[in-house]
Amino acid sequence: MKKKKSGFNTKLVHLGELEDSMGSVTVPIFQTSTFSFKNAQHGADCFSGKDDGYIYTRLGNPTINALEETIAELENGFGGIATSSGMGAVNSIYLALLGQGAHLVSTASVYGPSRNVIEKHYSRFGVEATFVDTSDPDKVKQSIKSNTRMILVETPSNPTMQITDIRKIAEIAHKYGIPLVVDNTFSSPYLQNPLDLGADVVFHSITKFINGHADVVGGVIVAKEENLYKQIRDIMVNFGCNMDPHQAYLVHRGVKTLSIRIEKAQENAAKIAQWLEKHPLVKWVKYPGLRSHPQHELAKKQMRGFGTMISFELKGGHNTGKAFMDNVELAILAVSLGGIETLIQHPASMTHSGINKEEKLKAGITDGLVRLSVGIENVEDLIDDLSQALDKIT
Ligand X SMILES: *Cc1c(COP(=O)(O)O)cnc(C)c1O
Q: Given the rule CB under 6 A, which residues bind ligand X? A: 85-87, 111, 154, 158, 183, 185-186, 205, 207-208, 217, 219
* Residue among 179 and 320 whose Cβ is closer to ligand X: 179
Report the C-alpha gap between 308 and 258 in whole angstroms. 12
- CB of residue 141 to ligand X, shortest distance in Å: 24
Count other C-beta atoms under 10 Å from residue 393's C-beta.
Answer: 17
* Residue among 327 and 336 whose Cβ is closer to ligand X: 336
Report the C-alpha gap between 185 and 160 in whole angstroms. 14
β-strand partners of 345? 371
208 is a catalytic site residue: yes
Asked if residues 376 and 266 have their Cβ atoms less than 8 Å apart, the reply is: no
Report the C-alpha gap between 282 and 126 in whole angstroms. 44
| Residue of 11, 208, 224, 286 with catalytic role | 208
| Residue of 54, 94, 111, 122 with catalytic role | 111
- DSSP class per residue in 56-110: BTTT--HHHHHHHHHHHHHTT-SEEEEESSHHHHHHHHHHHH--TT-EEEEETTS
Report the C-alpha gap between 80 and 273 in whole angstroms. 34
- CB of residue 393 to ligand X, shortest distance in Å: 28
- CB of residue 86 to ligand X, shortest distance in Å: 2
- CB of residue 74 to ligand X, shortest distance in Å: 18
| Residue of 58, 141, 253, 271 with catalytic role | 58
* Residue among 91 and 320 whose Cβ is closer to ligand X: 91
111 is a catalytic site residue: yes
β-strand partners of 371? 311, 345
- CB of residue 136 to ligand X, shortest distance in Å: 20
Instruction: Specify the 3-state DSSP secondary structure of 8.
Output: helix
Count other C-beta atoms under 10 Å from residue 132's C-beta.
Answer: 17
* Residue among 35 and 239 whose Cβ is closer to ligand X: 239
* Residue among 116 and 292 whose Cβ is closer to ligand X: 116
Report the C-alpha gap between 239 and 87 in whole angstroms. 13
Closest CA to 252 of 13, 6, 81: 13
> What 8-state DSSP symbol labels residue 12?
H
| Residue of 133, 183, 200, 385 with catalytic role | 183
**Backbone angle region of 285, left / alpha / beta, with phi > 0 → left and psi within -120 to 50 → alpha:** beta
* Residue among 54 and 94 whose Cβ is closer to ligand X: 94
- CB of residue 346 to ligand X, shortest distance in Å: 16
Active-site positions read: 58, 111, 183, 208
